[in-house]
Amino acid sequence: MKKKYARNERVKGMQVLNLIREFDMQRMNESETINDYYDRLLDILNKVRLLRTNFSDSRIVQKILVTFPEKFEATISSIENSKDISSFTLTELLNALQAQE
């Protein structure tokens, strides 16, 4: 039983690493909407959370801010200058970006 549990933990760890790698490689396409990109990221994050691994909102917010296309640069600069990004929630970011879209 102990060997089986250790093997399952190792497999779980590898799955989490692969999902995190997939998350890190994501970029928003020029033709993609904010909701489509958000849904794609959320799908990966939900898989990570199902494996009982936490992903902080601040890491997700930072990821989104640095992977948006250039056409959102003014909006992102405005958000960064007017808000404390470290305490910004994912919902707040999504609402702010959708208002600009």
The C-alpha atoms of residue 31 and residue 28 are separated, in whole angstroms, by 8
Q: Find out whether 39 and 68 touch, Cβ atoms under 8 Å.
A: no
Q: What is the pLDDT of residues 60-79, one digit of tens each?
A: 888 888 898 888 888 888 88
Task: Categorize the per-residue pLDDT at 43 as very low, low, confident or very high, splitting at 50, 70 and 90.
Answer: very high
Amino acid at 97: L
| 87, 48 contact by CB (below 8 A) | no
Position 59 scores a pLDDT of: 84
d(C-alpha 20, C-alpha 1), whole Å? 29
Instruction: For residue 87, give the amino acid letter.
Output: S
Taking the model in full, what pTM does it have? 0.78
Rounded mean pLDDT of the chain? 85
Residues 6+ away with beta carbon under 8 Å from 61: 85, 88, 89, 90, 93
